Chains A and B, each alone.
Chain A
Amino acid sequence: MTVVVDISHRLGDFEVDARFESAGRLTALFGPSGSGKTTLINMIAGLIRPDKGRIEADGRVLVDTDAGRFVPKHKRRIGMVFQDARLFPHMSVASNLRYGRWFTPTAERYADINAVIDLLGIGALLDRRPAKLSGGEKQRVAIGRALLASPKLLLMDEPLASLDEARKAEILPYIERLRDETKIPIVYVSHSVSEVARLASDVVVLAQGKVAACGPTGAIMQRLDLLPAEERGEGGAVLDTAVLRHDNVFGMTVLGSVAGEIRVPLLAVPVGAPMRVRIRARDVMIATEQPTGLSALNILQGTIVTMAPGEGPAVEIGIDCHGATVLARITEQSRQTLKLRLGREVYAVVKTVSFDPANMSAGLPVEADG
């Protein structure tokens, strides 16, 4: 399933002029507010008619202004989860969930209501009215409602943005399950680095209505310059790993990645399970020789491949560790003292305790070696 978007559209003073193509399992449209990502997703859904351009999903042309083609939203079979849930207030949760089924041709109904209720854990809510649900529950019902229309593509417009941290943590695992257990491709709008790093297989970075970059999550997340200023601190390498073993004595889990073994606080997942970790650049130290007498447990050997000035006194250094790039943010003073330059062999040091639930997640299934 490929989504192709190539449109230009004017909204008052603001101009969106974007082109991208993605075949990812979960494509994130990422950018600060006002970058045009919601406009784009609304165009894919059919809620906004672009001035000019073309939108294709799964080989089906949804919009082609040159040919005068515009498929109305109710004929697109594209599910949408809105930031504000938008449940029907006059219907029970069960009726909300069943709403889209009515309009789906029987032959194309693939979503099973019980499976979706189980997947989202909303079995206890069925008789309730939307007004009696918490924000997190509403959002789960909204996801279920969109799924039960058996869409060919699922759009999610900042589904977590209006929720507090606890509610976000409640919903994220469900979105991961959705990504891994169903076959529906997802386009996900977000301005949060941690959400994107955790969920996305591919990222489209938007800035001022234009596509600034587009590619696999790991590659995009290393471009700290693409991140909005307030999110820079969250930036860093995204590694797809697999659980190698658990160390119950010290309460740690050992993950295998191409970069080497990474020790993180104990995870309640089986050996072999894919895990995605984000190593924030600010959590990484650099040593020029194999450190000894050091408390940090994760020491990854590699060579410096990039050096870019960061904010203030910082420089951002990319270290290639056997094919995976780890980013480190250190001061210019340290760089000069250590005489770091491109091609130099160094060790990236990461403390086990710098991994927390916000930067570890169930990964997309990958083949791990290591």
Chain B
Amino acid sequence: MDWLLDLTPDEWNAVRLSIKVATVAMVASLPPGILIALVLARGQFWGKTLLNGLVHLPLILPPVVIGYLLLLSFGRRGPVGAFLAEHFGIVFSFRWTGAALACAVMGFPLMVRAIRLSIEAVDRRIEAAAGTLGANPLWVFATITLPLILPGLITGAILSFAKAMGEFGATITFVSNIPNQTQTLPSAIYTFTQVPGGDAGALRLTLISIVISMAALVASEVLARRVGRRMDIE
């Protein structure tokens, strides 16, 4: 076991960075994920199919394409990137924040799908009942809808986290593979496979990656079950 945990500082940094990137990507995409899922599940408007297609693009396009598109729009010279850098001092390109953005975008369709399904399963008549008791639509959402879709939120969040842990193509295209800065676990593994004698390092990181992903999955299962039991939905 010792050889497994005997990581170099660079490798540890890759592990830490991956967890940080995945967590930030997951947390940051939750609010827009809920909003888009709500709009897709309940809204009736022109262009709904288009929005749905847009959300699902990262699922069907090669990750490299997404990474390149991010580079074009969020890069230092890209329209969005330049604006954000100038007005808010937020820079994405070649920073860990860029990796988080790429991971968030790649995991977004999975998250929206899970949340959307759970919103569609909510009995709207129960929300109507809350309305007759005096709750305005915002309160109904906060006290009825949100608690009822909690299992879906957890599933969506974990899917996004897991996707972020494994994201490679978009990340490496957008923010490259700079050790200690943008080198996530998959990039580090890739680097090991490109150098002679890197097999042991690649295997170590692979096993760590499996452990983290499995732990996240188990945690979500336990959490979802506990929430489900607490609710005891009919």
A residues neighboring B (CB under 8 Å): 45-47, 72-80, 82, 84, 86, 88-90, 99-100, 102-104, 129-132, 145-146, 149
Whether B133 pairs with A99 at a CB distance below 8 angstroms is yes
Whether A88 pairs with B126 at a CB distance below 8 angstroms is yes
Residues of A within 8 A of B147 (CB): 90
Whether A149 pairs with B133 at a CB distance below 8 angstroms is yes
Residues of A within 8 A of B129 (CB): 80, 82, 86, 88
B residues neighboring A (CB under 8 Å): 123, 125-126, 128-137, 139, 143-144, 147-148, 230-234
In the complex, A72→B125 CA distance in Å? 16
In the complex, A149→B137 CA distance in Å? 17
Partner of A132, one of B123, B134, B231, B232: B232
Whole-angstrom distance from the CB of B137 to the nearest CB of chain A?
8
Whether A145 pairs with B232 at a CB distance below 8 angstroms is no
What residue of chain A has the Cβ atom nearest to residue B131's Cβ?
A73
Q: State the total of A-B contacts with C-beta under 8 angstroms.
A: 76
Whole-angstrom distance from the CB of B60 to the nearest CB of chain A?
36
Q: Can you list 26 A-B contacts (CB < 8 A)?
A: A45-B132, A73-B128, A73-B132, A74-B133, A74-B136, A74-B137, A79-B132, A80-B129, A82-B129, A86-B125, A86-B128, A89-B232, A89-B234, A90-B231, A99-B143, A100-B133, A103-B133, A103-B134, A104-B134, A129-B232, A130-B234, A131-B232, A131-B234, A132-B232, A145-B133, A146-B133
Besides A79-B132, A82-B125, A99-B130, 12 new A-B residue pairs in contact (Cβ under 8 A), listed by A number: A45-B132, A73-B128, A73-B131, A74-B134, A86-B123, A89-B231, A89-B232, A89-B234, A90-B230, A99-B143, A103-B133, A131-B233
Whether B133 pairs with A89 at a CB distance below 8 angstroms is no
Whole-angstrom distance from the CB of A185 to the nearest CB of chain B?
16
Whole-angstrom distance from the CB of A125 to the nearest CB of chain B?
14
Whether B126 pairs with A80 at a CB distance below 8 angstroms is no
In the complex, A88→B232 CA distance in Å? 11
Residues of A within 8 A of B135 (CB): 74, 99, 102-103
Whole-angstrom distance from the CB of B139 to the nearest CB of chain A?
7
Residues of A within 8 A of B134 (CB): 74-75, 77, 100, 102-104, 149
Whole-angstrom distance from the CB of B146 to the nearest CB of chain A?
10
